[in-house]
């Protein structure tokens, strides 16, 4: 397979099966190996490219016009704005679109260079997406050389050395290494991000690679947040005397991260604290409650995934980003499936009967994506209120 433009090749993408795609390099130069996935979102490429859940992956954008709103310092999702998000590369159909947005501060190409992300354009992304749907997410190496000369031996060595995501714990690499507080709230038109002035509650967030807008969404509901590293113990969490505990999103294989995360989660549940998990946090909760997780064929990556809330019967359009899933057949008695994907029927939410503990596979904070699922943060905070002897404010 080759690029669709009749221009010199300055970048390549080589899959594990030998498939070679040639195109034009964008962003940083060099080479990197990772797992190729595709994302169907039409907006939010900057948030996607800074989402720590994509660590170890090369993202194929199915939407062709990438770059049209430029980049800025506000739409970064990694908690540390200067940190490497773990993204291994980006694949585009067309060359980067010139920015045309009042919030744009930098061209996407310059931004990619700054963040050391290698990209390739001029690729038939429809064909690549079809290949992933047929054969699954493939390991690959991406390289950008402005002179068009590639060290084939180095490319092969990098690909051979990439172990794949199954069995790989990446959460510790993407998470904070020290605790910190968070009180910034969601962005609003005309004012930007706000600050929680008078917090009513205190939530501890265990960071497995959290997105900034998740923390903002919790603060938006009136809770100051204390963020702890992925390796925090139950004693570390409970020492903060939280009103609730949040399990964040993150990258890698949940079974590997669960080696140290599951005992912590079980300790928090045993202490009776309200718990809410998202994405990797959902998978880790599933493991802590006695279930299993499994690698998906092509995963879910996009902002248009329909999910049914089985507790209300309502359908919401959601943002998803995951390559592993909770195996519903492995869930023990007392653990209820609360949400299900209407694309493929896979599990999208669970709850522990009789306790204020629940999680969802998708991203209710969106960023990018629809706001249909914002109610889940209110549901979590209602669990906190009830646990403190207060009245719920919703549902």
C-alpha distances in Å from residue 176, one per residue of 223, 229, 232, 363: 20, 5, 11, 20
C-alpha distances in Å from residue 66, one per residue of 29, 61, 142, 279, 393: 19, 8, 18, 25, 41
Q: Check 144, 282, 339, 363 and give the catalytic one.
A: 363
* Residue in 246, 319, 324 with CA at minimum distance from that of residue 278: 246
99 phi and psi, to 5 degrees? -70, 140
Would you tell me how many other CB atoms lie within 10 Å of the CB of residue 334? 12
Q: Check 35, 47, 221, 365 and give the catalytic one.
A: 365
* Residue in 175, 224, 222 with CA at minimum distance from that of residue 202: 224
Active site residue 363: yes
Provide the CA 367 distance to its chain's centre, in angstroms.
10
Angle of the 212-220 helix axis to the 375-387 helix axis, nearest 10: 50
CA distance 226 to 228: 7
- CA within 13 Å, CB half, 115: 30
Query: Which is it for the CA torsion 249, 59, 75, 361, positive or negative?
Result: negative
Query: For the CA atoms of the chain, what is the radius of gyration?
Result: 21
Active site residue 202: no
Quick one: which H or E segment has residue 351? strand 347-352
Structure tokens at 371: 């706001």
Q: Check 279, 300, 305, 322 and give the catalytic one.
A: 279
SS percent in the chain: helix, strand, coil, step 5? 25, 30, 45
CA distance 340 to 345: 6
CA distance 234 to 255: 18
Active site residue 166: no
CA distance 109 to 114: 9
Residues with active-site annotation: 279, 363, 365
């Amino acid at each position: 397979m080759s690029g669709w433009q009749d221009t010199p090749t300055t970048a390549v993408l080589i899959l594990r099966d030998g498939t070679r795609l040639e195109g034009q390099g964008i962003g940083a130069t060099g080479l990197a190996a990772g797992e190729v996935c595709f994302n169907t979102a039409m907006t939010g490429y900057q948030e996607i490219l800074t989402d720590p859940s994509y660590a170890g992956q090369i993202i194929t954008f199915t939407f062709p016009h990438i770059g049209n709103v430029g980049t800025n310092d506000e739409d970064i999702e990694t908690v540390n704005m200067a940190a490497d998000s773990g993204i291994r590369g980006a694949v585009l159909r067309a060359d980067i679109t010139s920015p045309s947005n009042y919030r744009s501060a930098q061209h996407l190409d310059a931004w990619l260079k700054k963040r050391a992300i290698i990209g390739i354009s001029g690729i038939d992304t429809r064909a690549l997406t079809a290949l992933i749907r047929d054969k699954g997410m493939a390991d690959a190496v991406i390289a950008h050389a402005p002179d068009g000369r590639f060290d084939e031996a180095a490319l092969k060595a990098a690909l051979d050395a990439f172990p794949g995501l199954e069995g790989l714990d990446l959460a510790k690499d993407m998470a904070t290494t020290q605790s910190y507080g968070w009180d910034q709230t969601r962005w609003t038109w005309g004012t930007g991000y706000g600050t929680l002035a008078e917090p009513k509650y205190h939530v501890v967030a265990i960071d497995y690679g959290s997105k900034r807008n998740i923390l903002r969404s919790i603060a938006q509901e009136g809770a100051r947040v204390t963020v702890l590293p992925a390796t925090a113990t139950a004693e570390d969490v409970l020492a903060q005397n939280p009103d609730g505990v949040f399990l964040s999103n993150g990258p890698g294989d949940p079974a590997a991260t669960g080696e140290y995360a599951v005992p912590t989660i079980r300790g928090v549940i045993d202490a009776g604290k309200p718990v809410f998990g998202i994405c990797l946090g959902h998978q880790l909760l599933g493991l802590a409650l006695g279930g299993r997780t499994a690698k998906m064929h092509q995963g879910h990556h996009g902002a248009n995934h329909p999910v049914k809330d089985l507790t209300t019967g309502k359908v919401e359009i959601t943002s998803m980003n995951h390559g592993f899933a909770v195996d519903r057949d492995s869930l023990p008695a007392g653990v209820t499936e609360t949400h299900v994907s209407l694309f493929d029927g896979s599990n999208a939410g669970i709850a522990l009967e009789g306790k204020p503990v629940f999680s969802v596979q998708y991203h209710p904070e969106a960023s990018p994506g629809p706001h249909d699922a914002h109610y889940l943060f209110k549901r979590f905070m209602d669990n906190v209120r009830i646990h403190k002897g207060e009245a719920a404010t919703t549902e």
